[in-house]
Every structure is written in C-alpha cells, then in structure tokens.
Amino acid sequence: MLVAIVWSCSSETQRSRFPEISDVQEVDLRWQPKTGTRLVLRMTVSVRLSGTVVQSEPESKRVQSVSVLRTIEFPDVGPGYFDVRVSQNGVNVPATMRFSNGFSLLDIKYDTDVAGAPDMEKVKAAVNPLLAKLQETRSVYGKWKVGETRAIEFQFPNPVGSGVAIKGTTRLRRIVLVGGRAACEFQFEGTGDMKMQSGPIRMIMKGLEFRDIGTGLPIGQSGTGHADVSVQGKSLRVEIETEEVLDAGQSRF
C-alpha cells in the first residue's frame, strides 16, 4: 500500500506572520554560533485521527499532542569544532557533544558528576536527531538571493522508526524579523517514503523554516499535513500539525 502524506504551510504561516525586511535581497548565510550561544525552542506536534477505523474511540485517543521545550547550548566554539549540550523540558542530557565545522560527530564526553552509568538511550535520543539536523543544514549555507531555489535533502523524524530521507527543493522566500532577529524564511517541499508495517507511505512535505542570519541556527518551523489510509477496508485519516517556536527571551545569540 502506498499512501500520500501531504504537508503544507499552515494558515498561520500562509499569512505574513513575521515582518519583512524588504530592503535586504541578498544574504550570505553561514554557520557561526559563538561560545555561550543558547537556542530555546518550543516544539509541538499534534495528531488527529478520524474515519471509520476510530469512530468509536474516545477523543482522548483520536487527538494527541506532544510539546517539548528544547534548549541547545554551545559552551565552547573553537577553530574547527563546536561543543553542544541539550536539555528537554528542563532535564539535561548528561553529555557534551563535540562536532566538527563539517557537522561530523567528533566526541561525546559524559558528565562525571552524574551518579551511575550514563543513560545511553537518553544520550542517543538527543544525539541522533541533532546530528541529522546539523548534517542536513549544510545545503542551506552560502550566498542567496530572495526568490532563489535550490535542491535539498533532509531527514524527517519518524516516530515509529528511523528518519525518512526527503528530497526536494527550498526557496528563499523573504528576509524577516523573528524575535527581533533578522532571519531567512525558506519555503521547502519534497517527497520520501516511510516504511510502515502496512507498507510504504509516501510523504509529500511543504512548509516554512526560519534561519537566523547572524548565527545560521534554525529558529523556527511550521507546517501541517494529512494522510488517507485504508486499514482492512476501513478509512483512516491522519492529520498532523507541527510547529517550532523560538523563545527569544530565553535564547542568547
């Protein structure tokens, strides 16, 4: 079975959500966080199920929403490397990860003041999506003109398995202000196949992503989508909404 999940910009992102800096038409986007940089993002994923498969289920099972406050800190940035620490909902991952400027993982130093052995699953849960996010960002760095489109490849997280490789394009739509920071507003779309027990699901994604011009860091993303699936002859619609919102007050650039 091949099912299409169609992602599109939400109604909020279709409007001019952020003020435009219209006099800037060219940028040189680079990865350049500084020692002490801290990025705080509220990430929310909402899933709603409908159709004959779930019509008898209570709303608590048909509608689910997960929200995570993720903090990414850069305690040390040096020639050819940068260190990263991550916390989720105020709980620190007990490790410092060192990456090269080419976004390869160089080392993981576990905290020595944590009692017992490090929770490897917790560390992996932080490292893997962060590593994938960093590696995919390479395609957006460089000189851009507003309206320019380029090919991209990125990983979309799969909640029931490994990430989905997405191939598509991204377009520099505008230069905007996000939390008082000048940012590139990219409009992306692409397709990829997610492996599920019932068969592959074709994902068609569209959305917006925002990159801080001063540091190159991703500071927001938004999109919605849906999938229509047939399960043993019964219909099932999966509607998804995802959003990453910058906490400008807690972040430090």
Spell out the per-residue pLDDT of the chain, length 253, in tens: 334 444 444 444 444 589 999 999 999 999 999 999 999 999 898 888 899 988 888 988 889 898 999 999 999 999 999 999 999 898 888 889 999 988 888 998 988 765 555 666 767 776 777 777 777 777 899 999 999 999 988 766 544 445 567 788 999 999 999 999 999 999 988 877 766 555 666 667 788 999 999 999 999 988 776 777 777 788 888 777 888 999 999 999 9
**54: helix, coil or strand?**
coil
Instruction: Return contacts of 55-63, CB within 8 angstroms, 24+ apart.
Output: none
CA angle 34, 38, 44 (to 5 degrees): 140
pLDDT reported for residue 6: 44
Question: What pLDDT shows up at residue 230?
Answer: 75
| pLDDT reported for residue 194 | 62
For the chain, the structural domain boundaries read 3-67+138-246
* Residue 180, CB-side half-sphere exposure with 13 Å CA sphere: 6
pLDDT at 157: 53
What pLDDT, on the 0 to 100 scale, is given for residue 156? 60
Would the pTM of this model clear 0.85, i.e. be above it? no
pLDDT number for residue 39: 95
- Give CA–CA dist 14/95, Å, rounded: 39
Give dist(CA 236, CA 52) in Å, integer. 7
For 183, residues 6+ apart whose C-beta sits below 8 A from its C-beta are 18, 175, 176, 177, 210, 211, 212, 213, 219, 220
Q: DSSP secondary structure string, 105-166?
A: EEEEEE-TTSSSS--HHHHHHHHHHHHHHHHHGGGG-EEEETT-EEEEEEEEP-TTSSPEEE
Structure tokens at 197: 């027990």
